[in-house]
Each structure stands twice: as C-alpha cells, then as structure tokens.
Structure 1
C-alpha cells in the first residue's frame, strides 16, 4: 500500500464533507495491523473523537476502524455493550498520507445492530447533500452501489463482517 500509516505511533482519522468542511475526526488511534481486508486502527474505551470542531466525545467502549483498500467505505466495529455492532460509512476511497487517513463522508451508512437488524441510514441526508454540494453523478452512483453491496455483505456476515474484527478488538480491550 502506498503512503501506508507508520508502523508505530498514533494515527489520525479525518472525515470531511464534500465541501471540505471537517466532519468526524480522531487523533492518536493505534495502528493495529493490516490483513486481507485493509488497515485496522484501534481505540480503547475512553478514546475521544470530535464532530468538526465540537467538544470531544468520549467513548465508553472499545472499537476498531477498518480502512479497506480501494473501496468506497470504512467500517467501525464496536465492542459491547453498545447496541450498534457494525457501522459502515459510505465514503470516497480512504487516502493515507503518513499516519493520517482521510476521506469524504457521503452520508449513507450501513448499520448492524446487535440483534442482527441491518439497514441503510441517512438516505434523507444523502439526497439533501446531493443538491447542496453538487455530488457528481459518478459519486452518487458509487455511493448507492456501495451501500447496496455493504447491506448484503453486512447482513450475510461475509468478508470482514463475519467476525474478522474479534482479534483486533481484543487488542484494544473489547
């Protein structure tokens, strides 16, 4: 992988919106490793993230983030007791520069709750932002296609959604 994150030290995660404004961002996450699914970062309970420049949010559970290669999504795998087990953001392809990974959040999310319920969220926001930000047709198509593919994979538990996160979560106390 070109411009892969550093082997040691904290990684930074930067989601922006299509207009370049800062969205969710995390500093100092641990690079756990890389496998056939992509690069895994970890956050123990007590880690913080921010939405834009809002005050930090402290997480009471551990989680891992997966950044696949050449895919229009990222995934968060949450340790119990959270109700949301898997949270996939539809994004542009993540780009690594040194120890920072960045991508544009395209609003749509695929979510799996602990009870097995799987659904696509924020379709209204996706429609609103298409008009506000002027998403090109190829971005709209890629986002919709990716959401459909993820809905199927997350629901069926295939690929990284079939338990690949367990070992990575254990490394951060989840």
Structure 2
C-alpha cells in the first residue's frame, strides 16, 4: 500500500528518561497541525527494546498521533474484520526528521474486539513513577488525560466518532484496487 506520495515514517516510543522503548515503520496517510494518521502494514516489524524482543505484526493498523494532547490511538483490524483499539497515555507526540516520537507514560486504554474498554498497565505506571522520577505534574497530567480519553470514547468524540474507521475503509479500497 505504499507509493511515492505516501512516505514511510519511523515511530519511536521512548521512556521518560529518553531511552528507546519500541520502534516500528508505518506509512503516512495524512498530516495536519493537530495530528497525523499512519498505516501499519501487515508484516511490519516492531522492535521492543525494553523487552529486547522483535515482533511481526500480522494485522493492519491505523494509528492516530495527537501533536497537542498526550495520547495515541491504534485501531487494529483483527481477523474477520473485528476492530481492537489500543490507546497510549503519553506526552504529546513530536514530529522528527524521520517520523514521530512520543514519551510513553505506561497507562493504556484498550478496547477488545467485543467492545469492552479496560485500563491496563496501572502497575507499570506506578512502578515507573519511581523508576523515572515522574514529576507530580506529569503524574496528574497522565491521570487527567486518561479521564479525558475515556470521556471522548464514551461520548464518541473525535477521533472515536468513526474517523479512524473511515480511514480504514479508504485504505482497504486502495489495497483491493
């Protein structure tokens, strides 16, 4: 699904101290002053530096990166068309020369294929507060962003208003043609 007008960009998730956590390559679909949307092709390689492992991602994904607020949204298209969401609570994503970089603050909001939302990695958030010496404003900001994201999801506000699903339909049409 890549062409000359859809550049590959590198995504980097780092920990609060700047150490590389995960990285993978995606294809840029759209970029505004507020956000970027990228496409993760099936078969992409995810390097998980924290675990010292490499994963092959078999399913396609659409990834939304907010440049002003501290969250990301991944829409993963699972087998038989089922959709799973994975949202990172983070510091606002930064545009870099080769792609995007964000500081992962460990809290995640996940929707499984049955449509149930769950907050995960709260224990990791608590542990890394001590490990990386998160300032109080970072801790409180992460908690507030999680609540804001949950409200967006409950009220089906952007980007939970069908925005990513429409992008997935566009991508699927392009792949099928």
Same fold (TM over 0.5): yes
The equivalences for 1:94-173 within 5 A come to 94-173=93-172
1:3 maps to which residue?
none
Q: Return the alpha-carbon distance in structure 2 between the equivalents of residues 156 and 119 of structure 1.
A: 16
Query: By how many angstroms is 1:13 displaced?
Result: 0.5
* Match 1:52 to one of 46, 49, 53: 49
Residue correspondence of structure 1 range 25-104 to structure 2 within 5 A? 25-27=23-25, 29-34=26-31, 38-52=35-49, 54-81=52-79, 85-104=84-103
Distance of 1:133 and 1:34 partners within structure 2: 31
Q: Provide the rounded CA distance (Å) in 1 between the counterparts of 2:165 and 2:32.
A: 13
Structure 1's unaligned 5+ residue stretches are 1-6
The Cα shift of 1:116 comes to 1.7
Q: 1:90 to 1:18 in 2, by over 3 A?
A: same
**Under a length normalisation based on structure 1, what TM-score does the superposition of the two structures give?**
0.86
Structure 2: 5+ residue stretches without partners = none
- Pairwise CA RMSD of aligned residues? 2.2
For the residue of structure 2 that corresponds to 1:61, the secondary structure is coil
**Higher RCO structure, 1 or 2 (CA under 8 Å, sep 6+):** 1
C-alpha distance in 2, partners of 1:35/1:168? 15
Asked if the contact 1:110/1:119 (under 8 Å) is kept, the reply is yes
Aligned length: 167
Partners of 1:171 and 1:57 lie apart in 2 by 26
